[in-house]
Structure 1
Amino acid sequence: MRSRIMQVLIVVSLIFSVQVFSADKVNAATSTDIGAFASKFYGTPYKFGGTTPKGFDCSGYIRYVYNKFNISLPRTSAEQYKVGKTVAKDKLQPGDLVFFANTYKKGISHTGIYLGNGEFISAKSKGILKANLKTDPYWGPKYAGAKRLSNVTVAMENGKNTNN
């Protein structure tokens, strides 16, 4: 009788542990998922105040992309800059938010999603485009900082970041 109870308890605990692991796996936003989804909008037109695929401004685009992964962000780039953990430029990981100052007004005025290898994607005046933090003569000098959101995990494969 005691052995039978133990068997039932083991089976029940295995069932629940598999379900919990699966739910976590489904709800996790990985940097690869975010980068792939963000890249789907490459070439979408820019629209000041835009928050949909018909036209985005920078913060509307970031908010739209992260909302797909149930991550809620404020509406403006200046407000988004107040969210998350500050990250040094040499520690950037795909999925981090990158911020720029003094683009069309003083202070934080532009944001993008870091993709890896110095590259980020954002809604610019010519639409959703990629640029390089290290080599772009416009964006490089305007870089103001980066933030990491705790609910974004960097895709890992065999203990190595797959995005760098």
Structure 2
Amino acid sequence: MKKTVVLTSTLIGSLLAGHAASAASYTVQKGDTLWKIARQSGTTVAALKQENGLSSDLIFPGQVLRVNEPNKSNETSSNTYTVEPGDTLSGIARKFSTTVDALLKLNPSITNPDFIRAGQKLQVAGEQERSNTYNVQPAAVPTSGRYIVQAGDTLLEIANKFQTTVDRLLALNPQITNPNTIRIGQAIKVAGGTTDVREAKQQVSAANSAATESSASLADRIIDIAEKYLGARYLYGASPSRTDVFDCSSFTMRVFSEAGISLPRTSTAQAQAGRTVSFNQLQKGDLVFFDTDSNGTINHVGIYAGNGQMINATVSLGVAYSSLTSSYWKTRYVKAVRVIN
């Protein structure tokens, strides 16, 4: 009997130890949400609730949660990952302990690193050497002083290859208005005289000034359009053709359409448009997104109006100004995108 008890105790102890080894603990901090903790831990809200026996999304500071380590064998067995709403390429890179550049080389179909869509399948692991397409061939500079962009190239890599700088390449190529966007097959000038560089820099400076002024003017116009709808009532699922009632995404869709910019219908889809910007880089006219249900899904969008304020269509107030620094919006903020070039 004693032997049986010892064996049973040993078996139970082993099982408990094995279970503990697969999980870690996390102490909830002020401002935390299950969605935020799940994102940081590489897991899901549903998994956190199941692991901790939670019946709701309510958590409190000081609460200790068990956080299972993600099943990496399942995640990487196929070397692919399916993009979820709210994902960014940098976030996926961190999740799989890689870099954005590595993901871009593994997925040459991505032409804009700031634009990925929910449901898109990405290769997150693999041998880059399998395809010479990913490698920039160290050929000599042609007599014309130009280089043809290959798949996976970035302007920084090209600058390093030819022992120059990104600023010099931009000065030599005033047609490049966004240093993060170059296309396969594009001819880039990589060498030129001092006079060429000076003239090109002047052209770039003038073009950038005009573009900045144009973007600022468009942003002001967008805010002006949004303000004329202040006080309009909220109606979930409101038709974008209606201007007497709005939901959050029909409001942004309507405002931007009047400014000549087309947006998708839903906040989740709008979050995949444009270029992702950090909270500290917010500019007037940027779209800001939130997860108000703390379930890991973007479900609200507003228009940043400057000075920490946004204009948005809310259930309680309709179209109104809201402060991004308020405890409600600050803890539910997910991301921001810029659709104004």
**TM-score, normalized by length of structure 2?**
0.35
Which of the two has higher C-alpha Rg? 2
2:277, 2:330 → 1: CA distance? 16
1:65, 1:106 → 2: CA distance? 27
Task: Tell whether 2:293 aligns with 1:103.
Answer: yes
Task: Tell whether 2:243 aligns with 1:75.
Answer: no
- The equivalent residue for 1:133 is 324
1:105, 1:64 → 2: CA distance? 27
- Segments of 5+ residues of structure 2 without an aligned counterpart are 1-210
Which one scores higher on RCO, CA 8 angstroms, separation ≥ 6? 1
Q: Percent identity over the alignment? A: 38
* Secondary structure, counterpart of 2:288 in structure 1: strand
2:294, 2:256 → 1: CA distance? 24
After superposition, what is the alpha-carbon deviation per residue over 1:29-57, rounded to whole angstroms, capped at 9, x for unaligned? 61111001101111100011112212100
Structure-2 change in CA distance of 1:61 and 1:104 (3 Å): farther
Structure-2 change in CA distance of 1:105 and 1:41 (3 Å): farther
Q: CA deviation at 1:105?
A: 6.0
Write the mapping of 1:1-20 to structure 2, written as runs, cut at 5 A. Answer: none
Kept in 1, the 8 Å contact 2:285–2:340? The answer is no
Q: CA deviation at 1:70?
A: 1.4
The alignment's C-alpha RMSD in Å is: 1.9
Kept in 2, the 8 Å contact 1:46–1:123? The answer is yes
- The equivalent residue for 2:244 is 54
Write the mapping of 1:34-53 to structure 2, written as runs, cut at 5 A. Answer: 34-50=222-238, 51=240, 52-53=242-243
More strand, by proportion: 1
1:105, 1:56 → 2: CA distance? 23
Q: CA deviation at 1:106?
A: 4.4
Q: CA deviation at 1:103?
A: 3.5
- The equivalent residue for 1:11 is none
2:275, 2:265 → 1: CA distance? 18
Query: Aligned partner of 1:69: which letter?
Result: A
2:236, 2:296 → 1: CA distance? 17
Task: Tell whether 2:219 aligns with 1:31.
Answer: yes
Kept in 1, the 8 Å contact 2:291–2:297? The answer is yes
- Pick aligned residue for 2:314 from 124, 137, 141: 124
- The equivalent residue for 1:114 is 304
1:55, 1:49 → 2: CA distance? 10
More helix, by proportion: 2
1:106, 1:127 → 2: CA distance? 24
2:244, 2:232 → 1: CA distance? 7
2:251, 2:340 → 1: CA distance? 20
Query: Aligned partner of 2:323: which letter?
Result: N
1:56, 1:78 → 2: CA distance? 16
* Secondary structure, counterpart of 2:331 in structure 1: helix
Structure-2 change in CA distance of 1:60 and 1:105 (3 Å): farther
Q: CA deviation at 1:102?
A: 3.4
Kept in 2, the 8 Å contact 1:103–1:110? The answer is no
**Shift >6 Å, 4+ stretches:** none
